[in-house]
Chains A and B, each alone.
Chain A
Amino acid sequence: MTISTAIPEGAEHLSTPPAEDFRRLATAAGSPPDTTDVRAGTWTTTERVRRRLGDLIRRPGLLLAIGWTVFVTLAAFVPNLISSVDPLRAVPSAKLRAPSWDHPFGTDQLGRDLFSRVIHGAGLSLGAALIAVAVGLVAGTVIGLVSGFLRGWVDGLLMRAVDVLLAIPGLLLSLALVTALGFGTVKVAIAVGITSVAACARIMRSEVLRVRESAYIEAATAGGARRSRVLWRHLLPNAGGPVLVLGTLEIGTAILAVSALSFLGYGAVPPTPEWGSLVAGGRDFLGTSWWLTTMPGLTIAATVLAVGRISRALGGQDGEVR
């Protein structure tokens, strides 16, 4: 897990630039949206894109991370594009083969191709991580938004509830949820997601408290906008940036937590490949077939590292200690 869930600094490219604020202010105050600055807007975007591309080339680590993430995402959505071998097809004559050109990750005790199993397992493992992050983000954002917007006793109550979630060690909380909900990838994902609600809620709340003091919120309220409109149109888009950055950070944590639970045997039912359970499946062959645990484990580690690298770049914390 990452230890800092404090608001990532310098997420300025995610928040609305001042020009946008003025336009919104005008819209909120009742005048038609100002369209004259559209060309200027595209020019700055192109310039920004060019600058970002230039940055990318100078950062091979980030480029590698993006490449790996694209590869793994492809594996998750169209596994057959990368490996057309059936991950469940057992070839008894080719069991426990070491990695070779035909089987890049080797084969398991039933003669199934491990590379294909890892590729086809990406969908479940990454999907579960995304569900987990979505659960945490949505629930956390709603709690933080309501808490920061309404203030008063609602805020006090919600924040105390969030404190309690923080007092129970994350894995223990998700294990309790798994005990109650039952086993399976989706249930594991939900259980993992709930443990990240607290962090998201805290950040969202502090952002809402910061943003609600801004001039454009005041202008919108003064212009007669309804509370719900202020909440959805002005507060949420402007306060959401840091939470989204946290969300990308949480993907890595979620992949680790989901694969740990799947390693312990609470995820998908055996023949279905899933990263954590693939590592668990190689436990009995540690002394003889190293690739059975090493390859899926390396895949998990590389993915978590890549996602972490990208989210640190998004959070503007490059080269800085977190």
Chain B
Amino acid sequence: MGGYLARRLGQAVLVLWAAYTVSFLVLYALPGDAVDTRLGADSGSDITPEQIAALKSDYGLDRPLVIQYLTQLGRALGGDLGRSFDNGRPVTSLIAEGLPATLAIAGAALVISVLAGGGLALLAAGTRHRRLSRFLLNLPPLGVAVPGFWVGLLLLQQFSFRLPIFPALGNEGLRSIVLPAITLALPTSAMIAQLLAKSLSQSLAEPYADTARAKGASRSRVLLRHALRNATLPALTVAGLLTGQLLSGSVVVETVFSRTGLGRLTATAVSAQDTAVVQGLVIFGALVFVLVNLLVDLLYPVLDRRILRTTPRILITAEGRT
């Protein structure tokens, strides 16, 4: 267990480092200089070349790429992700400010998706009516196909403008969370429903399900006590993917509902071509993904002892990919 843990931790650190490098290459090494574009786009010609040079040296953008990379990486290891090009504030504190609001809607969305997605899969697997089952199984592809920003706007239209039940914008109060959370939960519910329905139908075809039925267990008991427990494990592998989806979804959802948070921070940073903030957010996204996968991998052997004893290598390749 100790060796496995160490290896898994080492891998996580490596992936993070690589994600850092990729984001650096994309944002700093690709042609197109953020400082030039921003100053040029903002204000024509009333900024002197000297001022641009001073600004560049202030952010360390005048040094060779390799030096920039190494100094930035060094700082990032100490928890410093640089300063925003836009307002000069530390990226880490910008992220810390946005996190609670995003966490609130993402958390609510996760609860909704587990309930809705899980409920749908269970109902589809448990019902005796083939038509109902087919209908339910046709819903998830629908949930994945509708654009999130459109669903958000439709909800706003119906429940804020036509029927003033929920506030149309802002962060205040529990009521403002409802619509954004539902919008955010739509694709993730569909993902959970698809995956769980598939693994439930596989579990129900296993010999142990037959055994349980032969011993006289009721339909719901076979489904809930036997199949569900075994079907949940494979569904756990997408936890990292789900959090990534929630994080990406927040960019659109927070824009639609005019909320503040990480997603809004991302949208404004991209619009302003604020390279440092965008990089910080990408690294944060990768960090969350890696941590969630690490957690799932560590949880796996606890939930299912067989995995650790037989094939620990499967865990390493089960890194939340699809």
Q: Does B44 contact A (CB under 8 A)?
A: no
CB pair A179–B290 under 8 Å, yes or no, is no
Per-residue A-contact encoding for B238-274, CB less than 8 Å = 1, 0 else: 1001001101110110011000000000110111011
Interface centre among B26, B134, B247 (most CB of A within 10 A): B26
Per-residue B-contact encoding for A1-38, CB less than 8 Å = 1, 0 else: 11111100000000000000000000000000000000
Please, which residues of chain B bring their CB within 8 A of the CB of A252?
145
Q: Does A91 contact B (CB under 8 A)?
A: no
Q: Pick the residue among B18, B30, B248 that contacts A169 (CB under 8 A).
A: B248
Provide the bound-state CA to CA distance between A170 and B241, in Å: 10
Per-residue A-contact encoding for B53-81, CB less than 8 Å = 1, 0 else: 00000000000000000000000000000
B196 — nearest CB in chain A belongs to which residue? A321
Q: Pick the residue among A161, A180, A294, A312 that contacts B32 (CB under 8 A).
A: A180
CB pair B244–A170 under 8 Å, yes or no, is yes
Q: Does B302 contact A (CB under 8 A)?
A: no
Q: Which residues of chain A from 241 to 287 have a CB within 8 Å of any chain B CB?
A: 252, 256, 259-260, 263-266, 276, 279-280, 282-283, 286-287
Provide the bound-state CA to CA distance between A305 and B144, in Å: 9
B144 — nearest CB in chain A belongs to which residue? A2
Q: Which residues of chain A from 196 to 226 have a CB within 8 Å of any chain B CB?
A: 199, 202
CB pair B19–A167 under 8 Å, yes or no, is yes
Q: With A256-B147, A321-B137 given, is the CB distance from A175 to B154 under 8 Å? A: no
CB pair A3–B290 under 8 Å, yes or no, is no
CB pair B26–A177 under 8 Å, yes or no, is yes
Q: With A166-B321, A283-B153, A305-B141 given, is the CB distance from A176 to B279 under 8 Å? A: yes
Q: Does B201 contact A (CB under 8 A)?
A: yes
CB pair B241–A172 under 8 Å, yes or no, is no
Provide the bound-state CA to CA distance between A282 and B142, in Å: 23
Residues in chain B within 8 A of chain A (CB atoms):
15-16, 18-19, 21-23, 26-27, 30, 32, 34, 37, 134, 137, 141-142, 144-150, 153-154, 156-157, 161, 187, 191, 194-195, 197-198, 201, 238, 241, 244-245, 247-249, 251-252, 255-256, 266-267, 269-271, 273-275, 278-279, 281-282, 285-286, 289-290, 319-322
Further 6 A-B residue pairs, CB within 8 A, beyond A163-B321, A181-B32, A263-B252: A4-B195, A4-B322, A180-B32, A266-B270, A321-B194, A321-B198
30 A/B residue pairs, CB under 8 Å, sorted by A: A1-B245, A2-B144, A4-B194, A4-B322, A164-B15, A164-B21, A165-B22, A166-B321, A167-B18, A167-B289, A167-B290, A175-B282, A180-B27, A180-B275, A202-B321, A256-B145, A264-B267, A283-B153, A286-B156, A286-B161, A293-B157, A297-B147, A297-B150, A300-B150, A301-B146, A305-B141, A305-B142, A305-B145, A322-B141, A322-B194
Residues in chain A within 8 A of chain B (CB atoms):
1-6, 160-161, 163-173, 175-182, 199, 202, 252, 256, 259-260, 263-266, 276, 279-280, 282-283, 286-287, 290, 293-294, 297, 300-301, 304-305, 308, 312, 319, 321-322
